[in-house]
Amino acid sequence: MKRKILFTGLFLLLPVFFHLANAGEDPSCSECKSFQNATPAAIAGLSGVIRKINPAIDTTTCSRNIDTQHQLAPAQGCQYQVKWADLHRGMTRQQMQNEVVKNLQEESGNLGGGKFEFKFKDGSSRKVNIFRSAFLGAGDQGRRCLAELMKHHGVKHVVNMYTPEKGAFRDAKTRWEPAEKKIAQQHNASYQTFDAFDYRHVDDVADPGVKLRKGDVALTKRFEQIDKIFGSIIGQVKLSKAGADSKDISILIHCMGGMHRTGIMFGLLRKCINGEKLDAIIDEAGCHMAKSPGNKGGFKPEVVNVIRKYDCKRIKALTE
């Protein structure tokens, strides 16, 4: 009887062990349907274990993948941490969103940044510090950080690339964005949103039968969206160049978690403005996606694909 009970218990735990062995993979994968009907109570019971599998990463370490002359010192009062929040296959979309929101509000600023020098056709140039982050308007700590970046680190322009969604993420548009805009206004900084940009795409192919996921568009369409965002950044650089203030200026770029859309834009700045090595750019992007040895975190190969394939000549045309 004892042997039968033991065997039954182990059998019931198999889905849990299977889940833990694959915790770093994409939550949408089809192999884990056996775990998708787990109760909220069971999921909550596993959260402590999953936190050990998906630890927070100190994002100051991500700058090791940036050339020394382009590294930016950490800003005091900001949260340099990213975590692929206790996300796993058993979660509903609402539960997943709640976890992400909790992380943004409490512990995951995902700060980073670098130094850039924009060179223009007339022979002039402008040095710019560009910070990258998660949605800082989500919580009190993030809002204090945003004010700190503007007051003491010269941030004069914010580029918000978050695309509004339903559910728990709706606060991003109705509460977080207004909070960031208010702080920007208080510090005489400009604020611009690009809410149609996403990292998901398909390569341009001749086969009309390719099945698209919701949100996928042709890669060339993504490139056009990237051009518009670069236009905003370079436009602010040109304005500062024309002004009397000779000090270095700073710009902040962010999306929701500071992982994917932000990773693309920051990676392309490093590639096209600073001319840094692609391997180092990809490693830094992966670090901000909470990727670590043995754990993919929130890593998405689409991010790398865009960085690899975007032609830097498109940016150079904007600096003329």
Per residue in 230-251, pLDDT (tens digit) is: 999 999 998 886 655 556 689 9
Write down the pLDDT at residue 255. Answer: 93
Is 1 a domain residue?
no
Residue 18 lies in a domain: no
Average per-residue pLDDT in the chain?
Answer: 79
DSSP alpha helix (H) spans, the chain:
2-21, 40-53, 93-106, 140-152, 171, 177-186, 219-242, 261-272, 278-288, 301-309, 313-318
* Dihedral angle sign, alpha carbons of residues 119, 120, 124, 128: negative
pTM: 0.79
pLDDT higher at 108 or 64 = 64
* pLDDT in the model for residue 92: 79
Rounded alpha-carbon distances, angstroms, from residue 277 to 112, 132, 146, 308, 319 = 18, 19, 30, 11, 22
* % of the chain surpassing 70 pLDDT: 74
Q: Is residue 147 part of a domain?
A: yes
Percent of all residues in the chain with a pLDDT value above 90, rounded to a whole number? 45
The domain total for the chain is 1
User: What is the C-alpha to C-alpha distance for residues 6 and 316, in angstroms, rounded to an integer?
Assistant: 67
Tens digit of each residue's pLDDT (9 = 90 or more) over 17-53 = 444 444 444 333 333 333 334 444 443 444 443 334 4
Residue 22 is assigned to a structural domain of this protein:
no
Domain that holds residue 213: 56-318
For residue 80, is it within any domain?
A: yes
Task: Evaluate whether residue 205 is within a structural domain.
Answer: yes
- Is 17 among the domain residues? no
Distance CA 180, CA 33 (A): 39
CATH number, residue 132: 3.90.190.10
Residue 258 lies in a domain: yes
